[in-house]
Amino acid sequence: MKIRAYAKVNLALDVVRKREDGYHDLEMIMAPITLHDLIYINVIDEGIEIESNSKIVPTDQRNIMYKVAKLMQERYGLQKGVKIFVYKHIPTQAGLAGGSADGAAVIKAMNKLFHLNLSYEEMAALGKEIGADIPFCIYEKTAFVEGVGEKLHFIEEPFEAYLLLVKPKKGVSTKKAFTTLDLFKVIHQDCRAMKKGIEEKDYQTVIDNLQNTLELPSIKMVPQIKEIKKEMKELGFDGALMSGSGSCVFGITRDQEILNKGYEFFRKRYFFVRKSKILNKEENLWYDFLFCWKDEGICNKLSYSSLIMSYILLECRRRGVWQWKLTQ
């Protein structure tokens, strides 16, 4: 079977404190985006085999996909193995949760392939044992996040915006970003203000509260982060922020012309440049439906017009429109 592993951005990130166990308590607004890796996974007689189009992706026990597959084999006594091919679109050391997204996708795929019937809560708890961002990637829903990333408070209101993702060639080690962060010098902002802005559909409040306390140490390691942010604002983007620990920066706008202008400006200057947008729940269901439709042979049961009508109904729900007047 095949499954998409969606990346995320941090619309806000505040490192609250360092804990006694060495980890940090965080407050974040995390949102899934349309950028994704494509994973093919099939059952084999034994073992765990991983292949990728990317030469820098480890294919042994260092890979998060390997770790979650091994955990599921042992936890549920699976007698068969899995073969995984990941087509990477999400860059590494970018702050976009590419590894965690892949791990979450493998959990969901194996849950289906082996008929485990795990709930989302059970899959999230399983993923938490491997990586802090995996629970979020299991749900793929915009959320206010606390703790090390395991406490999820979902924001049901859809937030719509175009994103331009720009990453310098040099990445940032998450561990190094945290170890070089001086908590006594950072300015802590209230992520709840952004949460309220999204819930009240107040776009300007969201823009005003874009913030990331990890930017300062990451900019010291990759100065281009600061330059990209400055250039994005000069091009007309409403805001620009580094995602996670970096080094990817996203510009945010609701103007598609600005998005396209930014893409043309950056695409020949930086290592990774992609257009994307926030992935909302209904869109996610639609993408997954189309994906499964092609993969599982549902096309034999549904007509093209049925698919179009399904999309229209999803759009009605998303926009709050329930009555349509049809005219000839």
133 catalytic, yes or no? yes
| The residue type at 276 | S
190 catalytic, yes or no? no
Give the integer Cα–Cα distance in Å for 290 and 285: 9
Q: What is the DSSP secondary structure assignment for residue 188, as one 8-state letter?
A: P
Catalytic member of 102, 133, 195, 277: 133
Q: Give how far Cα 295 sits from Cα of 43, 85, 109, 223, 312, Å.
A: 16, 16, 13, 44, 22
**Contact present, 192 and 217 (Cβ < 8 Å):** no
SS3 135: helix
Give the integer Cα–Cα distance in Å for 49 and 67: 12
- Candidates 244, 31, 37, 40; CA nearest to 140 is 31
Catalytic member of 8, 195, 229, 281: 8
Give the integer Cα–Cα distance in Å for 124 and 66: 17
Enzyme catalytic residues: 8, 133
